[in-house]
Amino acid sequence: MSLTTAHSVVAPSSNAKLIAGTIIIAYALISIVPLLWIFATSFKTPPDSIAYPPKIVFQPSIEGYCNLFTTRTRQTPEYINSLGPATGFCDETVRKRNMVIAGPSNFLPRFVNSLIIAFGSTFCAVFLGTLSAYGFSRFKVPLADDLLFFILSTRFMPPIAVAIPIYLMYRELGLSDTALGMILLYTAVNVSLAVWLLKGFIDEIPREYEEAAMIDGYTRLQAFWRTVLPQATTGIAATAIFCLIFAWNEYAFAALLTSGTAQTAPPFIPTIIGEGGQDWPAVAAGTTIFLVPILVFTILLRKQLLRGITFGAVRK
């Protein structure tokens, strides 16, 4: 769908436009406050983050980011003084709180896991999805509607319900807490979206292109490769981004089926704690880093958004 093309409703008066505009802008601003607050909190010091009343103006600090990427231990001032000069900005910040950096935190490996699992599963889901979508779109498949409905129906199951037998199955197969296991699982979840979306996109490509190519001597496979795929690039890209966003944001499976080596960022971020409870600036910093890619993708996807969120049911 496009947000800009105008079909002018029997022209709303300029007064109506003004009122509508004001309400929409007010809603947009209010709804964006929690996100701005996450961003602001990531640049606060821990004391500033829990100040009363909440601080809107504050001295920015990258302590939250330092805490996100490191683990620290409390030391006596004498011990800290006996160390050499601080080696970096984070080192200096931490020492002011009578702490010493003990090593890197788990955030980076968890973030890398998220990248590997999200991209791996997206690639597989889009690959399988493109093939199936082409199959359903161009060939007379027996029971096609039933198969398509079957593919969609796998989405009706609550993730926890699926997680129980998957947990047992993965334990038997040695796939628990592995990236491969998570990639397989996310591929299975995403492939239903990919098939439905891509079938819509491929249906829109005229058959005449392939038929012309096949008359010119291409085989069906070559025609698919040389004429359909290039035409479907936009659809494939949009589908890939939707799969990527799902896999990136997924929490339920990740929280239940991974605990260590293959844990992704969503179950990890809430576990970031400092001394005396949740370290909110560090959590906010992790959240900010985690959300930025999605913001970029949302803007890229603007025009395909509607189609993606409705499994291709609404296309305009």
Partner 1 sequence: MLDRTADNVARATPEPLAKKIRGISDKGLAWLFISPTILLLLAINIFPLFWAIYLSFTNFRANRPNEVVKNLGLANYRRILGDQDIWIAMQTTAHFVFWTILLQTVIGFTLAWLIDRKFRGHAFWTTIILVPMMLSPAVVGNFWRFLYEPQIGLFSYVVSFVTGIPPTNVQMLSNVELAPWAIIIVDTWMWTPYVMLICLAGLRSIPEYIYEAAEVDRASNWRQFWSITLPMALPFIMLAVLFRGIENFKMFDMVNLLTGGGPGSTTEVASITLKRQAFESWRTGYSSAFAIILFVAVFGLANIYVKALNKVKQR
**Which of 108, 112, 273, 314 forms a contact with partner 1 (CB under 8 A)?**
314
Chain residues 236-275 in contact with partner 1, contact rule CB under 8 A: 245, 248-252, 255-256, 265-267, 269-270
34 lies in the site for partner 1, by CB under 8 A = yes
**CA nearest to 280, candidates 32, 44, 106:** 44
Count of chain residues binding partner 1 (CB under 8 A) = 109
Site string for partner 1, 168-207 (x = CB under 8 A): xx-x------------xx-xx--xx--x------------
Q: Are 220 and 154 in contact (CB under 8 A)?
A: no
The nearer residue to partner 1, 32 or 83, going by C-beta atoms, is 32
Q: Are 63 and 95 in contact (CB under 8 A)?
A: no
**Which of 90, 228, 244, 284 forms a contact with partner 1 (CB under 8 A)?**
284
Shortest spacing between CB 222 and partner 1, in angstroms: 8
Helix (H, G, I), strand (E, B) or coil at 85: coil
306 lies in the site for partner 1, by CB under 8 A = yes
Produce one character per residue of 24-45: b if its CB has 16 or more CB atoms within 10 Å, e if not: eeeeeeeeeeeeeebebbbbbb
Site string for partner 1, 51-90 (x = CB under 8 A): xxxx------------------------------------
The Cα 280–Cα 205 span in angstroms is 50
The nearer residue to partner 1, 7 or 76, going by C-beta atoms, is 7
Q: Which amino acid, one-letter code, is at 169?
A: M
* Residue reference for tokens 């602001």: 40
Q: Are 245 and 309 in contact (CB under 8 A)?
A: no
Give the pairing type, strands 99-104 and 273-274.
unpaired
Written as six digits, the tokens of 193 are 């979206």
The region of 74-82, 83-91, 101-109, 152-160 touching partner 1 under the rule CB under 8 A is 152-160
298 lies in the site for partner 1, by CB under 8 A = yes
The region of 63-71, 115-123, 232-240, 297-305 touching partner 1 under the rule CB under 8 A is 297-305
**Which of 67, 132, 263, 304 forms a contact with partner 1 (CB under 8 A)?**
132
What are the Cα distances from residue 26, in Å, to 3, 31, 39, 62, 92? 19, 9, 20, 31, 42
228 lies in the site for partner 1, by CB under 8 A = no
Instruction: Give first-to-last CA distance, the chain, whole Å.
Output: 4
**Which of 43, 107, 201, 280 forms a contact with partner 1 (CB under 8 A)?**
280
Chain residues 4-33 in contact with partner 1, contact rule CB under 8 A: 4, 6-10, 12, 16-18, 20-21, 23-25, 27-28, 31-33
**CA nearest to 104, candidates 52, 65, 48:** 65
